[in-house]
């Protein structure tokens, strides 16, 4: 067997896809084993790597090691990657709110905390599972674990999401998203007081090479990303914004606002404090980014006319705004006035 090939494909055994033999270099000395492997094998998620470590499929110097093991320069690391059976989304009886439904599309008011479709580490409790139970079938264009899914919202984001019920509708919607013809309006609350009333952010977005679950605007290889913002209200040291997305990069709103020094409230991943302090008063922990997909507009795949759908501001976010208003002594009526078209 070669001493240090990057990937050695196996020709025997149905369970093993390949084995990688690695040797730790000086620049990785002291890194956690799971993070080291994510950097070396970007095709694997950190969750999948941690599963393989727990199954003792990862050996350091010939012995099983924990995910928290700190690798040392010169150490040999071997990881056996097993093939998984193909995933297929299954129907589950999960309550879900539909804002609109016909034979071609549905528009969902996705709750915060729900994942859109199955992925690494989670195959149940998703929006797709709920929709299959409610509707029976969805478009097959995106494959068996993402039926009907044309676009996504982050787990912590609530609000409007359009889903295709057949392949023709899926193709039409995908073309509109690709041509940037879909209107996507969000509400968010950010740290700091925006000096201007309107503005735009045009910074490329790419995967952060050091922290693979994050995105960054600091890599030249990033993809073009365009975000417009408008101030709805300034509440103490926070600013309530309406956001229009012209592109749809992963974490775009969150990473763009953090890059200009205004991280989204509740978004600890991009630098926001877990318990914000406003005018000397500590607020309760929100537990999610303050981000809501308030409106979506597109040309209906069959009717051929432009349609727009709205999701009222998530009740938890509205309650949080009321808590902030009380903390800074702002009248609730002023908050309601700023949110008039979103309640």
Residues designated as active site = 154
Helix (H, G, I), strand (E, B) or coil at 130: helix
Angle at 163 between CA 157 and CA 169, to 5 degrees: 150
Q: Which residues contact 130 (CB under 8 A, 6 or more apart)?
A: 92, 94, 95, 96, 114
The whole-angstrom separation of Cα 209 and Cα 90 is 34
**Lookup: tokens for 96:** 């879900």
* Paired residues of 208 in beta bridges: none
Length of the chain: 343
Q: Is 126 helix (H, G, I), strand (E, B) or coil?
A: coil
What 3-state DSSP class applies to 341? Answer: helix
Q: Which residues contact 341 (CB under 8 A, 6 or more apart)?
A: none
Output the six-digit token pair for 292: 């809501």
**Exposure b/e, 314-326, CB count within 10 A at least 16 = b:** bebbbebbeebbe
CA angle at residue 303 from 300 to 309, to 5 degrees? Answer: 40
| Tokens encoding 252 | 């775009």
- SS3 state at 267: coil
Dihedral-angle region of residue 304 (phi above 0 means left; psi in -120 to 50 means alpha; beta otherwise): left
Residue (of 317, 320, 338, 337) closest to 109 by Cα position = 317
Q: Which of 73, 16, 57 is nearest to 65 (CA)?
A: 57
266-273 — which CB contacts under 8 Å span 24+ positions?
266/156, 266/290, 267/291, 269/213, 269/214, 270/214, 272/191, 273/191
């Amino acid at each position: 067997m070669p001493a240090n090939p990057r990937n050695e494909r196996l020709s025997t055994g149905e369970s093993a896809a390949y084995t990688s033999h690695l040797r730790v270099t000086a620049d990785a000395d002291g890194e956690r084993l799971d993070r080291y492997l994510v950097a070396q094998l970007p095709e694997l998620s950190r969750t999948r790597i941690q599963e393989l470590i727990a199954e003792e499929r990862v050996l350091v110097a010939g012995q099983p090691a924990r995910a928290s093991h700190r690798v040392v320069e010169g150490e040999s690391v071997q990881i056996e990657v097993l093939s998984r059976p193909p995933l297929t989304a299954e129907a589950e009886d999960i309550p879900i709110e539909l804002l609109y439904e016909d034979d071609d599309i549905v528009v969902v008011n996705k709750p915060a905390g729900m994942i859109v479709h199955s992925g690494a580490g989670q195959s149940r409790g998703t929006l797709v599972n709920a929709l299959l139970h409610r509707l029976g079938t969805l478009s097959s264009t995106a494959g068996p674990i993402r039926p009907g899914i044309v676009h996504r919202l982050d787990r912590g984001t609530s609000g409007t999401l359009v889903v295709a019920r057949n392949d023709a509708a899926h193709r039409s919607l995908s073309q509109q998203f690709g041509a940037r013809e879909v209107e996507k309006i969000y509400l968010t609350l950010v740290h700091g007081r925006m000096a201007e009333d309107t503005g735009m952010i045009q910074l490329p977005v790419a995967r952060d090479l050091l922290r693979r679950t994050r995105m960054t605007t600091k890599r030249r290889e990033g993809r073009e990303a365009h975000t417009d913002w408008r101030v709805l209200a300034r509440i103490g040291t926070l600013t309530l914004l309406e956001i229009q997305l012209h592109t749809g990069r992963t974490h775009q709103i969150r990473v763009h606002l953090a890059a200009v020094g205004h991280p989204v409230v509740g978004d600890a991943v991009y630098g926001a404090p877990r318990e914000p302090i406003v005018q000397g008063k500590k607020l309760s922990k929100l537990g999610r980014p303050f981000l809501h997909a308030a409106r979506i507009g597109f040309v209906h795949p069959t009717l051929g006319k432009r349609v727009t759908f709205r999701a009222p501001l998530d009740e938890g976010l509205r309650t949080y705004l009321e808590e902030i208003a009380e903390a800074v002594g702002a009248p609730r009526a002023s908050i309601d006035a700023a949110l008039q078209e979103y309640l």
